[in-house]
């Protein structure tokens, strides 16, 4: 697989998503939630817990989901 094919594969995952499920919106929303948790509670413990939850969410949707999609796409192409 050349770099052009992997680029188009990863683009395909994000092209299928609505605007509110794009990487920029996921990152922006997560940063806003962390910021507002600090402004609202002013507790490092609460903000750390919120950050950990957001970090897991980022990992799932920004790292694991696209790589799983690409792996599934590659395995289905191998079957053809």
pLDDT at 10: 45
Domain extent for 74: 44-80
Judge whether 15 lies within some domain: no
Report the 10 Å Cβ neighbour count for 47. 19
- At residue 73 the predicted structure's pLDDT band, cuts being 50, 70 and 90, is confident
Q: Tell me how many degrees the CA angle 67-64-16 measures, rounded to the nearest 5.
A: 65
Domain count within the chain = 1
Q: How remote is the C-alpha of 51 from its chain's centroid?
A: 15
Judge whether 57 lies within some domain: yes
Cβ–Cβ under 8 Å, residues 37 and 46 = yes
Each residue's pLDDT tens digit, 7-55: 444 458 998 899 999 999 999 999 999 999 999 999 999 999 999 999 9
């Amino acid at each position: 697989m050349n770099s052009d094919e992997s680029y188009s594969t990863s683009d395909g995952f994000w092209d299928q998503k609505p605007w509110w499920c794009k990487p920029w919106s996921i990152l922006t929303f997560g940063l806003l939630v962390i910021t507002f948790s600090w402004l609202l509670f002013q507790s490092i413990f609460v903000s750390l817990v919120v950050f950990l939850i957001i970090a897991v969410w980022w990992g799932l949707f920004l790292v694991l989901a696209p790589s799983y999609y690409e792996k599934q796409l590659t395995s289905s192409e191998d079957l053809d």
